[in-house]
Amino acid sequence: MTPPQKLYQRIADQIAGDIAAGRYAPGSRLPAERDPAETFAVSRPTVREAMIALEIRGLVGARKGSGIYVASPLPGTAGPSPELDVGAFELIEARTLFESEAAALAAAAIDEAQLSELRALLTQMDAHDEAGDDLAADRRFHMIIAEATGNSLVASAVAQLWDVREQSPLCVHMFAQARRVGVTPRANEHQLVVDALAARDPQRAREAMRAHLRRVTDDLLEATKLDLIQKAQADYAAQRERVTARTGV
């Protein structure tokens, strides 16, 4: 049975079809995020994932800091659109559901050895704040909490979500954009989770994990916006250089 098409894929394919049909000409500006969000009745993060998917396919890009534009010229005709799998926003939504409840369960069952390992990982992640993120330490931090629930199915589900984080091309692309603009895991947010676990407070642990993952979503929204702005600035600088060269100024 063929799995249902993901929302971002449906939107990306619709816009790609509109571009192919000439509704959006090469070099023309696409509507702002809120317009397709209303048209397709989806969230802004879903629209952002669709735009990034179109960018990966070479159909759109940022120009002059004013939004998303159709590529000019358009790339040559290719085969079916690539399967980019799960985007970062969809992943974080699922992680919030699973890992917030996992943290609440872990608060009642975590042992001192697991708390000690979490604290050691906090030190390790804090040391990477300047040098960049430590994905292995971040994953291990969250897996210890899942394992502390004592439920093998919870641990398996969380591990699968992290596998998606590391293997989905669209997800990898979006987190790479975040790293390029300096977004890395925050050790202080992880510290609040550890504090709640050490206090054996399920509700506090749930809220700390939920707040942490909500912040990841906010950071990704800002990072992808900043990435587009940087591309627009680079495009403007290159254009200005060409004009200067032609005019001899």
Rounded Cα gap, residues 119 and 101, in angstroms: 21
Rounded Cα gap, residues 161 and 225, in angstroms: 25
Q: So what's the pLDDT on residue 213?
A: 93
Q: Is the peptide bond preceding residue 73 cis, with omega within 30 degrees of 0?
A: yes
pLDDT in tens, 135-180: 899 999 999 999 999 999 999 999 999 999 998 888 888 888 777 6
pLDDT in tens, 79-97: 445 556 788 888 999 999 9
- pLDDT bin (cut points 50, 70, 90) of residue 243 is very low
pLDDT in tens, 5-49: 788 888 989 999 999 899 999 889 898 888 888 888 888 888 888
Ordered by where they begin, the domains of the chain are: 7-84 (1.10.10.10), 88-222 (1.20.120.530)
Strand partners, 60: 70
CB atoms within 10 A of CB 149: 21
Q: So what's the pLDDT on residue 244?
A: 46
Rounded Cα gap, residues 14 and 50, in angstroms: 10
For residue 12, with 0-12 CB atoms within 10 Å meaning exposed, 13-18 middle and 19 or more buried, which class applies?
buried
Q: Rounded to whole angstroms, what are the CA distances from 164 to 9, 20, 124, 221?
A: 17, 31, 23, 19
Q: What is the mean pLDDT of residues 102-127?
A: 94
Is residue 72 over pLDDT 90?
A: no
pLDDT in tens, 181-213: 666 667 788 999 999 999 999 999 999 999 999
Rounded Cα gap, residues 170 and 207, in angstroms: 28
Is residue 77 over pLDDT 70?
A: no
β-strand 60-62 against 68-70: which pairing, if any?
antiparallel
Rounded Cα gap, residues 61 and 30, in angstroms: 10
Is residue 78 over pLDDT 80?
A: no
* Phi, psi (deg, nearest 5) at residue 105: -65, -40
Q: Are 222 and 182 a contacting pair, CB within 8 Å?
A: no
Q: So what's the pLDDT on residue 10?
A: 87
Rounded Cα gap, residues 89 and 33, in angstroms: 15
CB atoms within 10 A of CB 205: 29
